[in-house]
Structure 1
Amino acid sequence: MKQFQNRFVKSEEGAITVDWVVLVALIIGLSSALILVMRTGMDNFGGNVDQALSTATVSTGDNDNAGGITSAGTVNGE
Structure 2
Amino acid sequence: MEVYFYTRTKCELCEEGKLLLQLLQKDYPFDIIEKDIDASDELTERFGLMIPVVEMNGEIIQYGQIDLVSLEEILKESLK
Please report the TM-score for the alignment, with normalisation by the length of structure 2. Answer: 0.23
Give the structure with higher Rg (CA): 1
Q: Which has the higher contact order (CA 8 A, sep 6+)?
A: 2
Higher helix proportion, which one? 1
Higher strand proportion, which one? 2
Please report the TM-score for the alignment, with normalisation by the length of structure 1. Answer: 0.23
